[in-house]
Amino acid sequence: MNLWQEYLRPTNLSQALQAFAEASGPILPIAGGTDLLLDLEQGRHSPVHTLVDVTSIVEMTALQVRGAELFIGAALPVNRIVLDTLAGAHAQALTEACNLIAGPQVRNVATLGGNVAHALPAADGTIALLALSAQAEVAFALPKSIGTALAPSARTGVVSGASDNERSRSASTRRVPFKELFIGPGKSSLKHGQELLVGFYLPLSKANQASCFKRIMRPQGVALPIINLAIWLERTNDIISQIRIAVGPGGPTPWSGTQAEKALLGKPLNAETFHAALEALLSQVGFRSSARRASSDYRRHIVSGLFKDVLETAWGRAS
């Protein structure tokens, strides 16, 4: 049985959005296919007529500094992120997360955009991006009538190589705060068959800022971890002047430990402040029991060591 009827490989954003706008049947983006193909094959996904391969779209495979931000294309295989020096310098937690996803074969094709769009609350790249305050760039097709009516300056996200005709009818992009991408386990807020993740913007890192990602995994485990945790922090005169804590799966969507962040903000890191933060984290987090990975109680038990390890590593790196 064919899993799809038509496979398109656009080379720019305009062509991809045009395919979405003109689709006559169910249409989906595909990147590495490491999640989607299994879901289609095993009947966890409704049938699809057209797959739009986004991995040749130039704008979605860039990794570069843009102004005061780092842009990471959604269609970049995670292994490219692991090896990139800019990502290493400005998004260490993300490179650490990407380096732990699956094995080398999967990492060579699995993309960061696919990791995020799949919307699992413990996806490794997703948890790192949350701690790093990412913003997503989302592209959506403009109906032809609106697209042609807009002045060129009102349209963004146009990809070089697109013809004027293509540009006039497509490619508008917007920035979305990262958390707003998620509405439930496996459910993103992206409009299926209409919207694409183009990439992610992260603030550039300063000398007194650092991040760290670690996870706990079953010894023979592939795919998602028992628990993962990412922290970004800023250290000013031995005080935590900014901090963001992300834990997966701390809730139905990628989860931020806001109470633990409050407990640490403006304080030095020592045994007393760590324990206050741990208590705050445990009182807020909503670990669930999952048959394949771990019980909620076990996750509550092991999170303390992981939290301490990640926090101390980020703190040390920011010195």
Residues of the shown chain interacting with ligand FAD in the complex, contacts defined by CB under 6 A: 28-36, 54, 74-75, 101-102, 106, 110-111, 113-115, 117-118, 123-125, 190, 196-197, 222-224
Cβ proximity to ligand FAD, 17 vs 243, nearer residue: 17
Least separation in angstroms between CB 167 and ligand FAD: 20
Cis geometry, peptide bond prior to residue 249 (ω within 30 degrees of 0):
yes
CB atoms within 10 A of CB 86: 16
Beta bridge partners of 27: 50
Least separation in angstroms between CB 234 and ligand FAD: 26
Cβ proximity to ligand FAD, 213 vs 307, nearer residue: 213
Cβ proximity to ligand FAD, 92 vs 111, nearer residue: 111
Q: How far apart (Å, rounded) are the C-alpha atoms in residues 278 and 261? A: 10
Least separation in angstroms between CB 43 and ligand FAD: 15
Contact yes or no for 134/202 (Cβ under 8 A): yes
Q: How far apart (Å, rounded) are the C-alpha atoms in residues 52 and 193? A: 9
The residue number whose beta carbon is nearest to ligand FAD equals 114
Cβ proximity to ligand FAD, 18 vs 209, nearer residue: 18
Task: Assign 281 to helix, strand or coil.
Answer: helix
Least separation in angstroms between CB 57 and ligand FAD: 8
Least separation in angstroms between CB 111 and ligand FAD: 3
Least separation in angstroms between CB 159 and ligand FAD: 14
Cβ proximity to ligand FAD, 31 vs 243, nearer residue: 31
* φ, ψ for residue 139, nearest 5 deg: -105, 145
* Residue 298 CB contacts under 8 Å (≥ 6 apart), including other chains: 226
What helix, strand, coil percent values describe the chain, rounded to 5? 40, 25, 40
- The one-letter amino acid code at 18 reads Q
Here the tokens at position 19 are 């395919």
Cβ proximity to ligand FAD, 114 vs 147, nearer residue: 114
Least separation in angstroms between CB 172 and ligand FAD: 15
Q: How far apart (Å, rounded) are the C-alpha atoms in residues 73 and 49? A: 26
Q: How far apart (Å, rounded) are the C-alpha atoms in residues 300 and 65? A: 38
Cβ proximity to ligand FAD, 31 vs 227, nearer residue: 31
**What burial class does residue 309 get, using C-beta atoms within 10 Å of its C-beta: 0-12 exposed, 13-18 middle, 19+ buried?**
middle
